[in-house]
Amino acid sequence: MFQDKKISICFYSFLLIITVMAACKKESPFQYRSKPQIIIHGSDNRLNNSEVHFVKDTVYVFATDITIPNGHTLLIDAGTLIKANNITITIEAGGKIEATGSVDEPIVFTANSIKGHAGITEFEGSWRGIQIFGNASGQSSGTLSYVRIEFAGSSAYYLSSAILLSNVSSETVLNNIQVSYSFATPSFTFTGGNCNASNLVSYASAGADFILQKGYKGMLQNLLAYRHPDYAEGEPDGMYIRDTSTSPVISNLTMLGPDLKYGINPSYIAGLPSKRAGLITEGGCKFHIRNSLLYGYPAKSFINRTAYYGYGYFIDGTNTALSLNSGESELSYSIIYHADTSVAFYLPPNVYPPYTSADLKDFLLQPKFNNSLVTDSSKFMFTDPYNYFSGLPNPLPLTGSFLLTGADFNDPNYADPFFNKVNYRGALGADNWMQGWVNFIPLQTDYNN
């Protein structure tokens, strides 16, 4: 093959309809006992301390931006619930956030809203998110572990992302983090730096699930991008890697799309190469991706009953294509699912002439890469991935699924002890690392109300 020849902000347009539907269904198992509730205003003296400490026996409502400067620390105990509207939490270079939850007591950042009403508008029931700025010196920016971030992000905010990690070093600990219902923004954005992260969940994002850009060079494992058919409007989505100096190493990514399930928001303009895909690489980036699953496009619009198409893998930019062809970049030991094989891989015209999308498919399906293309979704044997409202969605593969075997880490890029040398491909195996702390139904969760 090669070697031979914006984000929409209508994310919540119909959220009230969805809320009513959800309210008529099964109650959430995440019920919070009533606790004292304190509103944190800008005049609160504790914000002037070098260590700003929030504890689990109190619920905090942030009514002001929280900024942690150089030399200061934001300390949040396991089990703490923080509610916010229209504010940002910022960790400046040299500052730290120490937010270490647990399986039984995750730390939750959510909207200051009654049950079922979060995220109704951009300024009611949503907030701007967490942004962490490192200083590229190898200094730790702290810890985020067993943390949920819900209804965060703002299209009006120039650094909008539910969680932004900018120039953060590998000394920082990042694991077991879920972002749900990001408002018209990406869930996770990694900008520069070399921080590593594992066990990340992006659920029902309005934009990209993971953006890696501007020289990010970290290692990532066990990433679940879980799309929702009612909230799939924005683009790009999935895993989006861009910029010439960006070069991540990734294992066990699952992009789980709606697989022709009807939704309210999905749209598609015929004839335009929409950047909706499980994986998008562009701008001369380099990457190593193994043991992953790109699954679940297209979706259908509930309004006009027509399908819109996304891609399994979308590659843009001549230098990006050249790095894949030369072996500087890699996609291997991975599975691409699409009901329409003609759009499972997409190479735009004139990016790498004379090669086409069909050539890209032939190239990546060569035996040496150990990739496969699947057209029947039932073969994956997921437990119950589309049970969005009548119960709890469950994306785990059942016993006997071919996802539980076939991983390979026999490559110098994956020799680092950061990588857990698992057998499964995709984000989830027989050992459910999401058990106990992940919540797929925050709209049905009663947060201290």
- pLDDT tens for each residue of 363-396: 999 999 999 999 988 899 999 998 877 678 899 9
Residue type, 332: S
- pLDDT tens for each residue of 186-205: 999 999 999 999 999 999 88
**Among candidates 337, 334, 335, 434, which has minimal Cα distance to 394?**
434
Name the band, by pLDDT with cuts 50, 70 and 90, for residue 22: very low
- pLDDT above 90 for 272: no
pLDDT (average), residues 99-115: 93
Strands (E), 231-316: 239-241, 249-256, 262-263, 277-281, 288-290, 293-297, 299-301, 307-308, 311-315
Name the band, by pLDDT with cuts 50, 70 and 90, for residue 229: confident
What's the gap between Cα 14 and its chain centre?
22
Cis amide leading into 106 (omega within 30): no
C-alpha to C-alpha distance for 92 and 69, rounded to whole angstroms: 5
| pLDDT given at position 339 | 81
Read off the tokens for 36: 């004292």
C-alpha to C-alpha distance for 156 and 251, rounded to whole angstroms: 33
Read off the DSSP letter of residue 364.
H
Residue type, 191: T
pLDDT (average), residues 38-52: 95
- pLDDT above 50 for 8: no
Cα-only R_g, the chain: 21
- pLDDT above 50 for 267: no
| pLDDT given at position 93 | 97
pLDDT (average), residues 52-57: 97
Altogether, the residues listed in the chain come to a count of: 449
| pLDDT given at position 19 | 45
Is the whole-model pTM more than 0.85?
Answer: yes
Host H or E run for residue 249: strand 249-256
- pLDDT above 60 for 20: no
pLDDT (average), residues 406-415: 98
Q: In what order do the strands lie in the sheet with 210-213?
A: 66-68, 88-91, 129-133, 163-166, 188-191, 210-213, 239-241, 277-281, 311-315, 345-346
C-alpha to C-alpha distance for 206 and 276, rounded to whole angstroms: 12
- pLDDT above 60 for 55: yes
Q: Please say whether the beta carbons of 248 and 215 come within 8 A.
A: no
